Homo-oligomer: A and B are copies of this chain.
Amino acid sequence: MKSLNVGIIGYGFMGRAHSNAFRRVNNFFPLNHQVILKAACGRDAARTRAFADTWGYESVETDWKRLIARDDIDLIDIAAPNNVHAEIALAAARAGKMILCEKPLGMNAAESLTMVKAVEKAKVPNMVWYNYRRIPAVTLAKQLIDEGKLGKVFHYRAKFLQDWTINADVPQGGPGTWRLDVKVAGSGVTGDLLAHCIDTALWLNGGIASVSGMTETFVKERPHALTGRKQKVGIDDASAFLARFNNGSLATFEATRYARGHKALYVFEINGEHASIVWDLHDLHRLQYFDHRDTGNVRGWRSIHVSDGDHPYMKAWWVPGLQIGYEHSFVHQVADFIQGIETGKSAAPTFRDGLATDLVTDAILKSAKSGRWEKVRKG
Contacts and interface: CB of A to CB of B under 8 A. Distances in A.
Given A302-B301, A307-B263, A308-B297, A254 B318 contact: no
A272 B260 contact: yes
A324 B327 contact: yes
Contact of A258 (B154, B240, B265): B154
Interface in A273-310: 273-276, 281-287, 289-292, 294, 296-305, 307-308, 310
Given A250-B216, A272-B260, A281 B154 contact: no
A27 B55 contact: yes
B308 A263 contact: yes
A155 B259 contact: yes
A321 interface: yes
Contacts of A250: 214, 216, 238, 240, 256
A11 B19 CA distance: 26
Q: How many protomers of this protein does the assembly include?
A: 4
Interface residues of A, number: 94
A322 B264 CA distance: 7
A127 to B, nearest CB: 21
Contact of A321 (B27, B262, B271): B262
B155 A258 contact: yes
Nearest to A164: B320
Interface in A65-100: none
A338 B283 CA distance: 31
A43 interface: no
A364 to B, nearest CB: 11
Contacts of A256: 154-155, 250, 271
A20 interface: yes
| Residue of A252, A284, A287, A324 ringed by the most chain B CB atoms within 10 A | A252
A182 to B, nearest CB: 19
Interface in A131-178: 140, 143-144, 149, 154-155, 157, 159, 161-164, 166
A259 B299 CA distance: 15
Given A298-B144, A302-B299, A322-B264, A238 B154 contact: yes
Given A252-B240, A322-B264, A373-B371, A303 B301 contact: yes
Interface string A110-145: 000000000000000000000000000000100110
A323 interface: yes
A162 B321 contact: yes
A36 interface: no
A161 B140 CA distance: 24
B290 A298 contact: no
The 7 closest A-B CB pairs, nearest first, are A263-B321, A264-B321, A261-B290, A300-B302, A300-B304, A325-B325, A322-B326
Interface of A: 13, 16-17, 19-20, 23-24, 26-27, 54-56, 140, 143-144, 149, 154-155, 157, 159, 161-164, 166, 212, 214, 216, 218, 238, 240-242, 244, 248, 250, 252, 254, 256, 258-265, 271-276, 281-287, 289-292, 294, 296-305, 307-308, 310-311, 317-328, 371-373
